[in-house]
Copies of this chain bind each other. A is one copy, B any other.
Amino acid sequence: MAGQRVSQIIAVIGGEQADPAALRDAETLGRLLAERGCTVACGGRGGVMAAVCRGARKAGGHTIGLLPGMDRSEANRWVEFALPTGLGFARNTLVVLAGDAVIAVDGSYGTLSEIGFALVARRPVVGLGTWSFRYRGREDESVVPASSPEEAVKLALQLARERAAGKEAANDAR
């Protein structure tokens, strides 16, 4: 029975200003996630956030928008569950924590901040045309690159499964 299950959630991070290719990718991501029964969580506003929600809702999926302000009126029209946080940009940390895995889509500084936070919070991150970064000349490889929305969704679901399995194994070992 549906009422007995927690929904799997994939967080999609990306900014309000994004080029057409990123927006198309985001809409496809939304559709693919919905088709696999996943709920999409995002920042709930425009740009990449609106595109991924539109894709998910058109395919019958659930969408959660974690909004920076105190009112739901700023949500894009494809957000089903509009959650005002009143936290401003700090709400970015909530978007990341909502996901069993995170897919990063564009090149805003907010997205960079969310990638860093996801790695702190041990959420697997898949990158689809997003930031790469290095420390003292060494490239960091924590973000798993994808070359298409299809690959991004496949990788995100696989990493979310491995993360869940790792937790269960850790619990069994206690």
Contacts and interface: CB of A to CB of B under 8 A. Distances in A.
Contact of A86 (B9, B79, B93): B93
A64 B65 CA distance: 12
A101 to B, nearest CB: 13
Interface string A15-31: 00000000000000000
Q: How many copies of the polypeptide does the oligomer hold?
A: 4
A116 interface: yes
Given A88-B70, A90-B93, A82 B120 contact: no
Interface string A59-87: 01010101000101101011111111111
Contacts of A134: 131-133
Interface in A92-125: 92-94, 97-98, 107-117, 119-121
Nearest to A116: B113
Given A112-B119, A131-B133, A136-B129, A9 B81 contact: yes
Contact of A113 (B85, B117, B135): B117
B136 A60 contact: no
Given A3-B78, A6-B75, A115-B112, A86 B133 contact: no
10 contacts: A9-B83, A39-B81, A70-B97, A83-B83, A84-B97, A87-B88, A88-B88, A93-B93, A110-B120, A132-B133
